[in-house]
Structure 1
Amino acid sequence: MRGKHIGQIVLLTILSCIALFIIEQIIEVGYVIKTAAKLVMFLIIPLAYITFVLRQPILAFLNVKSIDIKNLRLGFIFGVLAMGIVISAFVLFHNFINTDTIIDDLQTRLKITPEIFLFIAIYITLGNSLLEEFYFRGFIFFNLYKTDHKLLAYLFSSLLFSVYHVAIFAVWFNIWLILLAMLGLFLVGLVFSWLNTKSNNFLNSWLLHILADLGVMLIGFHLFGFY
């Protein structure tokens, strides 16, 4: 991949995340519209870039034709560990988190109610995790990693992954918890990327992401009063 493509990918992905932040926090659209915008930014535009600019077949680029289950064991092990860490962190820091603010934000800004939370949880765990892993690891990380800019691949994809999530929890936590969450997400991004170098595709980090999100959704069910 030529140097100009690296610059294009960096600029394109930064602009996409800025656009999603504006949609999430400034325009404050509902969850359905936000998800549609995310599909465009994180899936349709990258697929078009791979096809028409990089001129690569999608399956060849993603390298998911042949899946070796043995290469996914690390993703599962780290995923179970991540789920435990997420739940433990909530238990440890719940006195510093205004859960009423989180529920109010979900219901008023994103229009997520207890009645539809199960369907949202299924989408986030399986669909949204796939979308983010394709974008941050499949599209950004591997595009940069295939060049001589391997350190940039790790740092940029992980930093953007961390900053992007600020749009989701910006009003949930105080500034110190936001910074702590960003640091955690940055480190998680590094681990996600490293795992994917073991399988040469983004399936390891997707499996880890699924299990980590499952932990988050279990917390969500608790906040909505299901148990």
Structure 2
Amino acid sequence: MNLILLLFGPTLMLFIGLQVAGSVPVAFLLFYSWLLFIPLQECLRQKAGRRQALLAAVGLVPKRRNLLFGLGSGVLFLLAIVAAGFFFHASLFERDELLRLLERWQFSGSHAVWLIGILMFVNPLLEELYWRGYLHQKLARKRNPHIVVLVTAFFYSLYHLLSVIPLFAWPYNAAMVLPVFLAGVVWGYMRHRDGSLLGSMLSHILADIGIMMVYLLFLAE
């Protein structure tokens, strides 16, 4: 598939879901279908004997150092996110306006429970599989791995603009993309250094749990 489409595809899916359909469930369906089926179709095209090698190439192999670093960085991310929410939530969010937006996007009521579960556990696994797994190994075949880390982090953070800008108060909404990019660099570096994706998945899960904790502690009614 065309590389430009692979890089911009997730952003396009979220744009259609959030900005065109105005629905978080629709955005999730489009976005996660893309993240899952693009790598899956390439795996299914491989002969049975090569699939194991492909899984190793995308980083689905356990490495002790990688898992320990993932656990440590994830705990730090979680604590930093919750601390920022605790000390700055009054400045970061315009609560009533944000709740109205989430309700308009159908992130409320009975929908919210399973959407929160998806954000905490499905989202980090599929995002890491796509960016630090599938695209990292695809780009690293012919490019400097350090450039690959930066490129995947940039396009990973790009689509967060679609959610971050409406959700946070100005000027924090623009600044919020920077920690997303830096987290992508950390996870990309872990993937490059250790050849494993599992540590970045663990770290990403803990970071997303921190984000949902902020929502549940300071925003949910």
**Same fold (TM > 0.5):** yes
Cα RMSD, aligned residues only: 2.5
Q: Counterparts of 1:34 and 1:56 in 2: how far apart (Å)?
A: 35
Q: Counterparts of 1:188 and 1:66 in 2: how far apart (Å)?
A: 21
2:155 aligns with: 160
- The one-letter code matched in structure 1 to 2:101 is D
Indicate which of 135, 139, 160 corresponds to 2:134.
Answer: 139
Change (3 A) 1:146 1:76: farther
Deviation, structure 1 residue 18 = 3.8
Residue 100 (str. 1) matches residue 96 (str. 2):
yes
Deviation, structure 1 residue 112 = 2.0
- The one-letter code matched in structure 1 to 2:67 is L
Indicate which of 10, 22, 26 corresponds to 1:17.
Answer: 10
Q: Counterparts of 1:18 and 1:73 in 2: how far apart (Å)?
A: 31
* TM value normalised by structure 2: 0.85
Q: How big is each residue's C-alpha offset from its partner over 1:41-98, in whole Å with a ceiling of 9 and x where there is no partner?
A: 2111232245549x99444223266524443000000000000111122223322221
CA contact (8 A) 1:75 1:204 kept: yes
Q: Counterparts of 1:26 and 1:52 in 2: how far apart (Å)?
A: 34
Residue 62 (str. 1) matches residue 55 (str. 2):
yes
Residues matched between the structures, number: 216
Q: Counterparts of 2:51 and 2:121 in 1: how far apart (Å)?
A: 21
Q: Counterparts of 2:163 and 2:85 in 1: how far apart (Å)?
A: 17
Deviation, structure 1 residue 143 = 2.1
Residue 46 (str. 1) matches residue 39 (str. 2):
yes
- The one-letter code matched in structure 2 to 1:105 is L
Moved more, 74-83 or 129-138: 129-138
* TM value normalised by structure 1: 0.83
Q: Counterparts of 1:125 and 1:191 in 2: how far apart (Å)?
A: 19
Q: Counterparts of 1:72 and 1:164 in 2: how far apart (Å)?
A: 27
Deviation, structure 1 residue 160 = 0.7
Q: How big is each residue's C-alpha offset from its partner over 1:135-158, in whole Å with a ceiling of 9 and x where there is no partner?
A: 111112232234332232011100
**Tell me, which stretches of 5 or more residues in structure 2 are unaligned?**
none
CA contact (8 A) 1:51 1:57 kept: no
1:124 aligns with: 119
CA contact (8 A) 1:166 1:182 kept: yes
Q: Identity of aligned pairs, percent? A: 23
CA contact (8 A) 1:121 1:217 kept: yes
CA contact (8 A) 1:114 1:224 kept: no
- The one-letter code matched in structure 2 to 1:129 is P
**Tell me, which stretches of 5 or more residues in structure 1 are unaligned?**
none
